[in-house]
Amino acid sequence: LWILKPAGVWTLLRLHIQPVPYNMSCFIVNVSITRFLNYFFCVMLYFFFFNLQHDRAYDTLEFYHRLHIFAENKRTIDHHNAGNHSFTMGLNQFSDMRFEEFRKSFLLTEPQNCSATEGGHVSSAGPYPEFIDWRMKGDYVTPVKSQGHCGSCWTFSTTGCLESVTAIATGKLIPLSEQQLIDCAKDFNNHGCFGGLPSQAFEYIKYNNGLMTEEDYPYKGIFEPALAAAFVRDVVNISSYDEKAMVDAVARLNPVSFAFEVVSDFMHYKEGVYTSTKCKNTADKVNHAVLAVGYGAEENGTPYWIVKNSWGPAWGVDGYFLIERGQNMCGLAACSSYPLPLV
């Protein structure tokens, strides 16, 4: 059997240092060789179903390379979930990738520093609701999309925010074109699949006189001004590190785009309120752009943001995640913005 080939056994044997069971189907008895064999077959079973679920096909060498990485990631997940943390990890479409590989494929690789961003948002005096979720307020948030192997998260944060503010203003929710931003917004310090910022993309849309729909400007489309479906009157930047102003904007106005630093533990996020001591909280470290669609607090009082990601609906909680609010977690308050729609 292929699962008994020496290379496969050696791959897992090298990783076998008191593995933590993933769930009850990976029951481990207190006998060393039995423990190893149980762990070996458990990981192989998970890897088999992972390959089926995500339509993976490897040659022999690549198979064992990915098996080794998968086993390492599963051990990381098991170890984390055995501890006392505010969020849980789980297997997902990235579980056969090392973080460095993931970073190059899905995060901003060009340096992004929004420290020079000037704030323009004017907050009210409050008070604010304890809970806001724009998904529950009406038809204001489009379904989660997937950026694929392209560091274009900034385009999805941009379109997601403009889709929402336009829907709030007009009552019409229209999916907008990320591909147009990838192709055409480079003169505004954006870099296609290698990075950009929503605030800069909003500026492009403003001076370009609009953004086309996803239907009219699909992959490899050509921009036609007459087909522009959403317009930006102005761009509002929120003062750096002012999460209270972010709360004000989300509570009173609309979802807000922001960027933050993704580190290795976020790659495995499954559910709960994400926190990390590995990431920085400075503007020069942000490498991923997303969309805050609401906020709330756990029963234990931990405040959080409700965030729409662009890694597809199979990741996280149907494509969303929660991240701690009020602590500038991973620099999330360093550069947030939203557009004013022209309607």
Residues annotated as catalytic are 153, 288, 309
* Strand partners for 269: 89
Both tokens assigned to 309 = 């990601």
Measured CA distances, 238 to 93, 228, 249, 257, 293 (Å):
33, 27, 9, 10, 16
Please name the residues in contact with 48: beta carbons below 8 A apart, sequence gap of 6 or more.
none
SS3 95: coil
The identity of residue 181, as a single letter, is L
Whole-angstrom distance, CA of residue 326 vs CA of residue 320: 19
How many C-beta atoms lie closer than 10 Å to residue 264's C-beta?
A: 16
Measured CA distances, 225 to 155, 180, 215 (Å):
19, 11, 14
